[in-house]
Structure 1
Amino acid sequence: MSNRGFLEKLLDGAVVEWKQLGELTNVKTGQSVNKNKIASNPGPYAVINSGREPLGFIDEWNTDDDPIGVTTRGAGVGSITWQEGKYFRGNLNYAVSIKSDAKLETRYLYHLLLEKQADIHALCTFDGIPALNAGKLKGLVIPIPCPDDPEKSLAIQAEIVRILDSFTELTAELTAELKARKQQYNHYRDQLLSFDDGDVEWKTLGDVVDFQNAKPHEKLVTPDGDVALLTAGYISTDGRSARFVKTTDVLTPAFKNDVAMVMSDLPNGRALAKTFFVDEDGRYAANQRVCLLRVKDPESFSSKFLHYVMNRNKQLLRYDSGYDQTHLKKDWILGVKVPVPSAEEQNRIVTILDKFNTLTASLSEGLPREIKLRQQQYEYYRDLLLSFPKPEEAA
C-alpha cells in the first residue's frame, strides 16, 4: 500500500495543517548540572542532559510528566529524548512542552520529532562544539491532522501512536536484554579488577609503560590502503568504522601487544579512554588524539591485563566535565594508579575476561542485528504513517 493511500484512509478526508513547533509547544533549557554535582548529591532521579541515556542520578528533580526533550549541544546534538515521571533536566537539553490549548498527543509529537530528525540536524551548527539554537527549533514545522475537529484529530493521532508504539515496545525489550548482558559483563570485570590496597602492589602507569603520542594521518587515508587507522571512531565502534592508509605512509605504527587509547572526545562521549588491544604487527597505525601504551616489562605486567585495567578507566573519565570537549593530558594518563598482581593472577583474570568478551561479542552481534531489523521496521511504518502531504504536494 502506498504512503498516500494509507494516509488517505486514515485521514478519511480530513485536512492537514502544518504549524511551527513554537506555536504548539514551549521550548526552554533545563538547569545547569555536571558530574561533580551528581556525585555530591546522589539520589533516585535521572539526569537527562546531552545524551539519550541518563548522565547519572541525583537527589532532586525539576521536571515532572514532561517527557520530551532535544539535546542542545555535544556529540548527540539534535537527538530526541524521552524520560517519564520526575527527573532532572540539564542545561544541555531543551524541554519541548505541549501548550495547554494545543490539541497534541504527547507520544504523537515524540514520534513526529523522531521522523523529523534529519530536519532537526539540519538546523544544528557544527563549528566547534555542535549546537542547536532554540529559535531555529521553534521554527520547525509539523503536521496536525484535522485541526478544526480536535476530537477527530486526537483520535487520528492516537491510532498512529498505537501502531508505532507496538514496534518500539519490542525494540525496547531487546535493547534492555542487550543492556543487561553488558552490565553483567561490566560487573564481573569490575569485580575481577578490584583489589584492596594491601592485596597487591599499586604503581603509577608511568612506571610500567612507555607512552607514545600518535601523528595525524587524515591526509594519507586512501580506499586502497592496507593498514587500519586506529581513530576514536574505530576504537569506539570496535572496528566497524574503519579507514585505511598504505603501509608506506604509516607515521605511527602500532606493534603487537600495544594498547591504543582514545585521548579526546566530545562531552559525555563513549570513546574517551576506551582502549584497543593490538594483536599483530603491521596491521594498525595510530592516529592523532590516540596514544599507544607499551609495557616496559612484559614478564611482570601483561599487556592484555593493561588493556582491561585501562579501558574506560574511572580515574580518566572524571576529567569529562559533561559540557566541554575533553583532551586527556599525558601526565594525567601516566599518573593513573594501576594494580600489579602476580603474573599468574594477571593471566587468570585475562583468561576469564577474554571468555566473557567472546560471549558478549556473540550476544552483541545477534541482539543488535535483531534490534536493527525491528528499528528498520518501526522506521518504515513511521514514514508510512507520518509522511503527510505538505500544501504544495496536496495541490
Structure 2
Amino acid sequence: MSRIDDLIQELSPGGVEFKALGDLGTFIRGNGLQKSDLTDEGFPAIHYGQVHTHYGTWATETISFTSPDFAAKLRKAEPGDLVIATTSEDDQAVGKAVAWLGEAATAVSGDAFIYHHSLDPKYVSYFFQSQQFQGQKMRSITGAKVRRISGDSLAKIRIPVPPVEVQREIARVLDSFSALEMELETALKTELEARRIQRSHYWNALLTPSTSWRRTTLGQIAEVFDGPHATPRKTATGPWYLSISSLENGRFNLASSAHIGEDQYDTWVRRIAPRLGDTMFSYETRLGQAAYWDRDEPAALGRRMGLLRPNKSEVDPRFLTLVYLGPEFQSLIRSKTVSGATVDRIPIANMASWPISIPSIPEQRRIVSVLDNFDALVNDLSSSLPAELTARRIQYEYYRDKLLTFEEAEV
C-alpha cells in the first residue's frame, strides 16, 4: 500500500476528486438476448444471470455465445466496458458488475447495463464491490420480489477518481489479493478431498474381511425388526420420527427428521422402540443406507425403516453399523435386492439368515476408533474450510474498501 500512498502523494497531493458515474461514462441497456438464445459457439454473449452465477471482477472470455446473425441485432459491450446485472431477488447482488476485457465485443442481454466509461476497467469493477458503492446503491433499489436499479440511479453514484496510475495500482493489488484467496480455497479443498480419499481407502481396507474374521449370520449377532408400514401425523415437537431421509453416512441427520406427538408414540413403537446403540436401515428405496442411533431419547421408526439390535457379546454396536455399510455386506444387499413395480426393496423377513463376517470384539473396537478418527478429521476440515474462507474474505474486503477510500479534494 506504500506504493499507492506514494503515487497519491506525488500525483494528487490535495486529495482525490469524486465524480458521478454518469459524468464519466454512459449506461446503455442490453437487449433481446434470452437464455434460449445462448449456444456453445458463435458470437460471445453475456446473459445477466451469468454475471451473478459465473463471472468475477473481470473476464476475458465468455462461457456462452449466440449466433452471429442474432448478435448483429444486439447491443454490445466493447473491451473495457462494464456489464452490470441490474436485477436480483437479493439487494446485495443488484448492480453486480464484471469488467469485459476480451479482445472483441460481446453481446449483452436485457436486465443488464453496459457502462462505457473513461476509468480503468478493473478499478471501477472493484469499486462496484465496495461499501461505498453498496451504501449509495441501496437508496435507489426499487421493486418488491424482484429488486432492480435504474441507469439514472447508477449514473448519480459518486466514485473517487484518482490518477489512472493509482487506479491501475489498486487494481493490481486487489487482483493479487483475489489470487491469494483463490489459492487458499483451492489448497483447502484439495486437502479435504485428499482426506476423503484417504478415509475411503481405510474404510474399504478395514471393513474388507480377512481370513481371521469369523463367518456367521446377521441373526447371530443382532435381532432384526421391521418398522411400521404407514406414516404418522408429524409434529414440531415430541419423540423423534426417524425416516429414511434422516440416514446420512452412518449417522442420523436430525435436521431432516421430524417428530411425532406423545399421544401417537405408544402406538408407533408397538413393534419396536429404537434405543441407544441400535442400527437403523432402509429396506425400501435408499437401499444400503444405515445409521447408528447415539441418543438416549424417545424415537420411532419411519415407514420403510428396519432396526438391528446388536448382541453385545458378539458385536460392538458401532461396528455393526460400519460392517453393514462395509463393502462385503453392501455387495450382499445388492445381490438380495428385489425389483418392484414402484420401488426396489430387500426382503427384511429373511435378513436374519444372511451371512456376515466379523473380527474379534477388540479388533472391532480398534476399527471403530480408527474410522471415527478419520471422520473427525474430515468433519473438522469440512467445518473449518468455510470458516477460514470467510475470515480471509472479510480480510480481503477490509483492505479493498481501505484501498478505495480517499480524502476528497476541495473543489
TM-score by length of 2: 0.49
Q: Which residue matches 1:14?
A: 28
Structure 1 residue 259 displacement after superposition:
0.1
Q: Specify which of 221, 232, 235 is matched with residue 222 of structure 1.
A: 235
Deviations 1:337-376 (A, max 9, x none): 5322122322332233334444444444333544678899
State the SS of the aligned residue for 1:327.
Answer: coil
- Quote the Cα distance in structure 1 between the aligned partners of 2:283 and 2:215: 23
1:301–1:343 contact (8 Å) kept in structure 2: yes
* TM-aligned CA distance change 1:195 to 1:312, over 3 Å: closer
Q: Which residue matches 2:279?
A: 259
Structure 1 residue 210 displacement after superposition:
2.8
2:372 corresponds to 1:367: no
Q: Specify which of 327, 342, 351 is matched with residue 360 of structure 2.
A: 342
* TM-aligned CA distance change 1:240 to 1:280, over 3 Å: closer
Q: Which residue matches 1:190?
A: 204
- Quote the Cα distance in structure 2 between the aligned partners of 1:325 and 1:188: 36
One-letter code of the match for 1:228? W
Structure 1 residue 272 displacement after superposition:
4.9
- Quote the Cα distance in structure 1 between the aligned partners of 2:206 and 2:54: 40
CA RMSD of aligned residues (A): 4.7
1:232–1:262 contact (8 Å) kept in structure 2: yes
Structure 1 residue 309 displacement after superposition:
1.1
2:224–2:351 contact (8 Å) kept in structure 1: no
- Quote the Cα distance in structure 1 between the aligned partners of 2:395 and 2:358: 49
Larger Rg: 2
Q: Which residue matches 2:291?
A: 276
* TM-aligned CA distance change 1:16 to 1:337, over 3 Å: farther
- Quote the Cα distance in structure 1 between the aligned partners of 2:362 and 2:80: 71
Q: Which residue matches 2:45?
A: 103
1:175–1:371 contact (8 Å) kept in structure 2: no
One-letter code of the match for 2:38? L
One-letter code of the match for 1:352? V
State the SS of the aligned residue for 2:356.
Answer: strand
What percentage of aligned pairs have identical amino acids? 22
2:163 corresponds to 1:235: no
Deviations 1:9-64 (A, max 9, x none): 99952322252222122xxxxxxxxxxxxxxxxxxxxxxxxxxxxxxxxxxxxxxx
Q: Which residue matches 1:354?
A: 372
One-letter code of the match for 1:156? A
- Quote the Cα distance in structure 1 between the aligned partners of 2:46 and 2:255: 40
- Quote the Cα distance in structure 1 between the aligned partners of 2:257 and 2:23: 45
State the SS of the aligned residue for 2:236.
Answer: coil
One-letter code of the match for 2:319? F
| 311-320 or 250-259, larger mean C-alpha shift | 311-320
Deviations 1:90-112 (A, max 9, x none): xxxxxxxx23234359xx98665
* TM-aligned CA distance change 1:280 to 1:375, over 3 Å: same
Structure 1 residue 315 displacement after superposition:
1.6
* TM-aligned CA distance change 1:172 to 1:7, over 3 Å: farther
One-letter code of the match for 2:347? K
- Quote the Cα distance in structure 2 between the aligned partners of 1:248 and 1:325: 32
**Aligned 1:147-166 pairs, distance under 5 A:** 147-149=75-77, 151=79, 156-157=99-100
* TM-aligned CA distance change 1:281 to 1:103, over 3 Å: closer
Structure 1 residue 307 displacement after superposition:
0.9
* TM-aligned CA distance change 1:215 to 1:374, over 3 Å: farther
- Quote the Cα distance in structure 2 between the aligned partners of 1:310 and 1:9: 69
| 199-208 or 326-335, larger mean C-alpha shift | 326-335
TM-score by length of 1: 0.51
Structure 1 residue 299 displacement after superposition:
0.7
- Quote the Cα distance in structure 1 between the aligned partners of 2:308 and 2:390: 35
Q: Which residue matches 1:181?
A: 195
Q: Which residue matches 2:61?
A: none
Structure 1 residue 304 displacement after superposition:
1.5
Structure 1 unmatched ranges of 5 or more? 1-5, 26-97, 116-137, 139-145, 266-270, 379-395
Structure 1 residue 221 displacement after superposition:
1.8
One-letter code of the match for 2:372? D
| 149-158 or 237-246, larger mean C-alpha shift | 149-158
* TM-aligned CA distance change 1:103 to 1:362, over 3 Å: closer
Deviations 1:134-189 (A, max 9, x none): xxxx9xxxxxxx833454579834568998x8666654443333232233223223
Q: Which residue matches 2:345?
A: 328
Q: Which residue matches 2:226?
A: 213
2:199 corresponds to 1:199: no
